[in-house]
Chains A and B, each alone.
Chain A
Amino acid sequence: MTQHVVPRQVYYRVFAALLALTLLTVGAAHVDLGPLNIALALGIAICKALLVMLFFMHLRYSTHLTWIVAAAGVIWLGHLILFSMIDYLTRSWLAFSSW
């Protein structure tokens, strides 16, 4: 078996980091930062997701192929949202409807 055995210490540290980030994001949500609120909340969420994926899901120790598969899912989701939003964000510019 070629799987990498991650020391338990790593898991504990990641867990602590995840809890800290959760506290941070809840705290930050109560401060009015304007549009930065969204960016910060999503930024922290992405960090947390990366921690889970890299360590708990062993992505850090996985093959390139696994990285590509994981990335494909995320990129396609981004594409779905981006290309649909092209419609919604430009509807009021010049349109058959003003929505």
Chain B
Amino acid sequence: MWSNLPLFPEQASTHAARVDELYAFLVGVSVFFASLIFLLLLYFAIKYRRRSEDEQPHPVYGSIPLEVTWMAIPFVLVMIMFLWGASLYIALASPPADALEIHVVGKQWMWYFQHPEGQREINELHVPVGRPVKLTMVSQDVIHDLYVPAFRIKMDVVPPKYTTTWFEATKTGTFQLFCIEYCGVAHAGMVGRVVVMKPTEYERWLQLGTPEEAPVVAGARLFQSLGCSGCHAANAAVRAPLLAGIYGKPVPLATGQVIIADDSYIRDSILLPQRHIVAGYHPVMPPYQGRVSEEEILQLIAYIKSLGGEPLGRGMTQR
């Protein structure tokens, strides 16, 4: 085979291998049925070709048993395809709890990645091999879509909310990354690469990179400068929920519902605070829509996440 004529994509994640098995099954079924139809057509067309202009073959009306058969067999096959595809899809929607969490912001026309330790990258993502990586993604403008063919993963990056996907790379190397939801003039240029490294090299890379300011630090600074601390600090004059230790915990809402304080919840609460009012508080916080960038929100989330420890008196986890 020509070296510049690849016919099959590289298989570089645990998920990729599983998708390819299903793909092989689909190809098998397709080749079988396509051949069956082609051969039958060819055979009938030749065997029963018209031999004289006045030929009048006897009519055949059809056959109920045959109809039932060729409904039943495809039905069984497509149900296998459905269940198989769905189970892999559910797995893709359920990242392991210990996954390395990386935040992604898509904007016209670049990818911004932020590692938990503070490294930030543009259009390039360094990850360790053999460890699940969860991507939490959001768009600053239009819908984008992060696609890494070698991992067989793809997820839209949508402006109003966080979307997630995950992968576990199985080999080191460099893999292409594309924006695959049309996003404007330079859509084809919104590409990047994923660099999968050995864990030790990844550690070294983390050291090497010069994090200007860790997200937690930047978040803490923003928490002050945006005025969040004026209400959400323990000694604040305005009564607002304290944020220490809330990350990942259930929060009771004024509507009686309970919501988990995850990334999306915190982002919503910053941008559109009146959407989810915590039980026992008044909707007084102004919306920060348009006043903070997606990167800044990620830094704030990192900061809030870092506020571990037991919630204090005015906390919102329990009443």
Contact = CB atoms under 8 A, between A and B. Distances in A.
Do A and B pair up? The answer is: yes
A96 B135 CA distance: 10
Contacts of B264: 97-99
Nearest to B138: A97
Contacts of B90: 94
Nearest to B94: A94
Q: How large is the interface on A (under 10, 10 to 19, 20 to 34, 35 or more residues)?
A: under 10
A55 B165 CA distance: 55
B25 to A, nearest CB: 25
A98 B262 CA distance: 9
B94 A97 contact: no
Interface string A60-99: 0000000000000000000000000000000000111111
Interface string B251-266: 0000000001011110
B100 interface: no
A97 B262 contact: no
Interface stretch (B34-42, B107-115, B156-164): B156-164
Contacts of B93: 94-96
B163 A96 contact: yes
Interface in B56-103: 90, 93-94
Nearest to A96: B163
Interface string B96-130: 00000000000000000000000000000000000
Interface residues of B, number: 16
Contacts of B155: 96
A96 B164 contact: yes
A99 B268 CA distance: 10
A98 B94 CA distance: 12
Contacts of B161: 97-99
Contact of B158 (A95, A97, A98): A97
A97 B164 CA distance: 6
Contacts of B260: 98
A97 B93 CA distance: 9
A95 B161 CA distance: 12
Contact of A96 (B160, B165, B262): B165
7 contacts: A94-B90, A95-B93, A96-B155, A97-B163, A97-B164, A97-B264, A98-B262
- The 8 A-B pairs of least Cβ separation, nearest first, read A98-B264, A97-B163, A99-B161, A97-B161, A96-B163, A96-B93, A96-B164, A94-B93
